[in-house]
């Protein structure tokens, strides 16, 4: 098996176990057993549980970092802001398992400083969709567009309906908010 595939399998199984029994109660031995590999094989890729979580975070956060870099090179148009929201929704959906982990293991997240770096990413992204000279209502609309994507990704699963239809509706609301924030 290719190194990247093994690394991904380890991360997926670790997240499963962290979700089932909590980060603190999960051992590297249990992760190795679930994978049916030796602890030595696991150590080849990750020395600690913290290394696994940080690796997961880096892999799932990479699209958001790329989006922030891309947004910094674009004109500040409504079309750019709409595309930022589309790409951000896609990145959030890919990172759903990590956000669940962060929510269920808040003390661990604080200790690892993952939450802080996610807040920094959010603030970086926010600067590209919010106009500094806008009236306060429009600033709130711009921030609300991003929060609509967060809420839609994590809380709409409790709402009846087709998952794809819900995500399309969430994106439509976020796009409406950014259009209103732009004063269009």
CB 35 within 8 A of CB 13: yes
Tens of pLDDT, residues 102-140: 777 777 777 776 655 777 888 888 899 998 899 999 999
- Cα 167 to Cα 155: distance, rounded to the nearest angstrom: 11
Q: Write down the pTM of the prediction.
A: 0.79
Instruction: For 5-57, write each residue's pLDDT tens digit.
Output: 888 899 999 988 988 888 889 999 999 999 999 999 899 999 999 899 888 88
Q: Is 113 left (phi over 0), alpha (psi -120 to 50) or beta?
A: left
Tell me what pLDDT residue 113 has: 65
């Amino acid at each position: 098996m290719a190194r990247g595939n093994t690394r991904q399998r380890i991360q997926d199984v670790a997240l499963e176990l962290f979700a089932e029994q909590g980060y603190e109660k999960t051992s590297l031995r249990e992760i190795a057993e679930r994978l049916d590999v030796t602890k030595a094989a696991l150590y080849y890729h990750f020395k600690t549980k913290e290394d696994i979580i940080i690796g997961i975070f880096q892999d799932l956060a990479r699209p958001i970092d790329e989006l922030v870099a891309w947004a910094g090179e674009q004109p500040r148009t409504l079309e750019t802001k709409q595309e930022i929201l589309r790409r951000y929704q896609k990145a959030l959906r890919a990172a759903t398992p990590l956000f669940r982990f962060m929510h269920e293991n808040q003390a661990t997240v604080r200790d690892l400083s993952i939450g802080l770096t996610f807040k920094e990413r959010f603030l970086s992204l926010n600067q590209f969709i919010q106009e500094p000279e806008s009236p306060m209502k429009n600033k709130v609309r711009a921030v609300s567009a991003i929060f609509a994507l967060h809420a839609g990704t994590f809380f709409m699963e409790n709402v009846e309906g087709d998952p794809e239809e819900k995500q399309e509706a969430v994106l439509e609301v976020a796009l409406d908010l950014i259009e209103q924030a732009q004063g269009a």
